[in-house]
Chain A
Amino acid sequence: YTAGGSSGAAKVVAAGLLTVGGGVGGTILYAKWDHKFRAAVENNVPYSDWLLGLALGPAYQGDIMKQVRMDSQHVWVIIADCFEKITGSEFLPHSEASAEASHIISAISEISTVPAPCDTESAVKEECKECQHHADPAVVAPHTELPLRERPVEEVAARLAQQDQKEQDTLSSVSASLEECLASSAKATLQAIGAQEAAVQAITQHIHKLKEAMEAEVPPPEKSSQWKDLEAALADRTSAVNDAETALLKAKEALDSLKSEIDKSKGLKVSAVRPLVLAAEENLHNMVVDLDRVVTKLQSAESESKIVSQYSDLVNEAKLQFQREVSSLTPEIQANWKGLTGKLSADDLNALIAHAHRRIDQLNRELAEQRVREQIHIDASLEQQKLEDQKALEKAVLTAVQHIKEDTRLEQERKLSELREVMEAEMRTQLRRQAAAHTDHVQDVLKVQEQELRADVLGSKLLEQETSYRQLSQEQLDNFTLDMNTAYARLKGMEEAIDSHVVAEEEARKAHQLWLSVEALNYSLKMADADSPTMPLESAAQAVRDSCHDNDFALALATALPEESLQRGVYSEASLRARFNALRALVRRVALVDETHNSLYQYFLSYLQAALLFEAKQEAPPGQLCSEDLDPFRLLSYASFCLEHGDLELAAKLVNQLRGEARRVVEDWLTEARLTLETRQVVSLLSAYANAVGLGTTQAP
């Protein structure tokens, strides 16, 4: 049924497509997983690489080697860097002049540094030793091949430049920090000074007001305002004093930090920093001095105010006492007694006057007492004052001494730095001079030595003897060389003669061998039965080939033998002759048959002709054939004649002139005759050649 058939066909087609799709998909997946498989598929299936590239992307390229190379380069770079850093960082910064000096020395001589009396030079040497110690482990640590040899000039210059750079950096950083500190401390100090001045002002104001309040006789309402002013002044004073104290503390702090900064920068031991340090120290000193001055002023003001306050206290106390007494006497009278003149009675007045008298008496007595004790009090107060003065003096002296010490120290440092510079310059010039002197000396010594040598060699008899000796020895040498050359030439000649003899003998032997093999070939050629061909000439030909494998001519001849003769052998002349005789009758019978005349009737006519025509059995062929001679019967008689006389070649040539059916009939005979002729020719050539070679190799007696 066609429907079933078509569904069957559809099933087959579907199954086929499924199989192909599955195969392709499976191949792609497996190629994705296994790269060798992918490579194999790409090699064997023509367009698979395109398909796989489309599906999976390009194949994995092995660039591990590249990564390894890059990593190894990295490692070397890192090692080189570390080495540089280690050797560079151990060099502590030098002073500029000493760096120049060491540069000069290393440039001239082989030694790295020379110990010098200056302490900076010794410091340099110490530092060099230190860094050499550090450089040695650094050399060992990265396991590199670099030995520690003298650094070249460029390297030294680079190092020094690096150090200068570092110095510059530290200098700038230190100066920046110092300036900052100075600025801050100056500000603080000024603030402190200002605060102190303000405090002094406030104190004096307060004192003045107090004094006023004490002694002025003003009416009561103004008095209370005065007291209020006084209180305000007191408050001002206390606040001003506190401010001054805090400002002082701050200034002291700033100065301390400045001092520490100065000490730190002194600790760096960079000389370029020194003037900065000096200037900073001077500034510090000035600020300290100012601060101290102001503090002393404040203290004096404070002491004065203390006195005044004491006085005011005493006055207040006396007033209070008097008031108490007055109130005890006249209790009903109020405190403000000055304004009560009209209100008092006579008794009160009397009592008051009596009290007043009594008080006066008391006071007189006290006064007398005081006058008596005055001197003692004065002495005591003088003593006290002396003590206080002494204390103040001591303190002032101490601070002054400190300041002077500081001044002198700064002066000393300044002078020291100047001196150092001068000495560095001097050292440099001395070294230069020394180097120049050294080169001059070396030049002189060399000149002197050269002259001595020349004098020695030129001026004495040794030279003559030397020359004669040289001449004689040269003569001897020449003679010897000559003898050697002749002997060598003779030896060479003898060797060549022997070699040529050997060669000639070898050649003769070979020629003999060739001749023998050719003779064998010749003999085998002659040995043939009547009707069968000779034995195959292969072995004899091989023998010939073997005996002449280095001779191109003979080899060419040996290979020119026809194949048939080698495999089957050739017919002898006699057999060919016999065969021809048999052939002749046949040729006669088909003489008239050719390409155009070849019907049976023609055959009959040809047979008739052969029966009726008679020609000579043998006839000598002419030197040249004319058209008449091309008649088959004549040709046959010529050929017979030639064969009878042993001339196979001419016979073959004549037979070759036959045409038509006659020719077809003699074809085989002709081929055989040709073979035989060829072989005979080659063999005769070979034998002639062998003879010639043999003759050529015979030595003349």
Chain B
Amino acid sequence: MSEKELGKKWDRCLADGAIKFGTGLGLGIVFSVLFFKRHTWPISLCSGAGLGMAFSNCQNDLRSSYLLHRSQKVGLCNKTHSN
């Protein structure tokens, strides 16, 4: 059912966002603890990066039905090309 597709996409987005944010957070914490002397900026950086990635993914996913795939792109061929 086409009406359920949007809902599925949102679900994916949220899940993806949660994962990325969580992972970013974790990685940030790790980096901050290990390399950056417990500053908070790696944490926010990584989690922000994670969120950003999730946002980008979500947007792509929502846009995906409007994008033309490589195989769908049709160009005009010249007759001079040997077939």
Give A80 to B50 CA distance when docked, in angstroms.
Answer: 119
Query: Chain B contacts of A665 at CB under 8 A?
Result: 2-3, 5-6
Instruction: State which of B19-27, B29-37, B61-69 sits at the interface with chain A.
Output: B61-69
User: Taking the nearest CB of chain B, how far is it from the CB of A667, in angstroms?
Assistant: 4
In the complex, whether A668 has a CB less than 8 A from a CB of chain B is: yes
Give A124 to B1 CA distance when docked, in angstroms.
Answer: 123
In the complex, whether A65 has a CB less than 8 A from a CB of chain B is: no
In the complex, whether B40 has a CB less than 8 A from a CB of chain A is: no
Total inter-chain residue pairs, C-beta < 8 Å = 33
Instruction: Say yes or no: B59 contacts A600, CB within 8 Å.
Output: yes
Contact with B62, one of A582, A600, A669 (Cβ below 8 angstroms): A600
Closest to A603 in B: B62
Q: How large is the interface on A (under 10, 10 to 19, 20 to 34, 35 or more residues)?
A: 10 to 19
Instruction: Say yes or no: B2 contacts A668, CB within 8 Å.
Output: yes
Q: Of residues 40 to 81 in B, which have CB atoms within 8 Å of A's CB atoms?
A: 55, 58-59, 62-63, 65-66
Instruction: Say yes or no: A664 contacts B2, CB within 8 Å.
Output: yes
In the complex, whether A452 has a CB less than 8 A from a CB of chain B is: no
User: Taking the nearest CB of chain B, how far is it from the CB of A586, in angstroms?
Assistant: 5
Instruction: Say yes or no: A600 contacts B6, CB within 8 Å.
Output: no
Question: Given that A582-B3, A666-B3, A668-B3 are known contacts, is A595 also in contact with B66, CB under 8 Å in the complex?
Answer: yes
Question: Given that A595-B66, A664-B65 are known contacts, is A600 also in contact with B55, CB under 8 Å in the complex?
Answer: yes
Give A667 to B62 CA distance when docked, in angstroms.
Answer: 17
Instruction: Say yes or no: B3 contacts A583, CB within 8 Å.
Output: yes
Question: Given that A595-B66, A664-B65 are known contacts, is A590 also in contact with B6, CB under 8 Å in the complex?
Answer: yes
Instruction: Say yes or no: B66 contacts A667, CB within 8 Å.
Output: no
* Binary interface encoding of chain B residues 12-23 relative to chain A, with 1 for a CB under 8 A from any of its CBs, else 0: 000000000000
Instruction: Say yes or no: A667 contacts B2, CB within 8 Å.
Output: yes
Query: Chain B contacts of A590 at CB under 8 A?
Result: 6
Closest to B58 in A: A600
Give A210 to B62 CA distance when docked, in angstroms.
Answer: 183
Question: Given that A586-B6, A600-B58 are known contacts, is A668 also in contact with B63, CB under 8 Å in the complex?
Answer: no
Query: Chain A contacts of B6 at CB under 8 A?
Result: 586, 590, 661, 665
Between A and B, 16 residue pairs with Cβ closer than 8 Å are A582-B3, A586-B3, A586-B6, A595-B66, A598-B66, A599-B63, A600-B59, A603-B62, A661-B6, A664-B2, A665-B2, A665-B3, A665-B5, A668-B1, A668-B3, A669-B2
Which B residues are closer than 8 A to A by beta carbons? 1-3, 5-6, 55, 58-59, 62-63, 65-66
Apart from A595-B66, A665-B5, A668-B1: 8 A-B pairs, beta carbons within 8 A = A582-B3, A586-B6, A593-B62, A598-B63, A661-B6, A664-B65, A665-B2, A665-B6
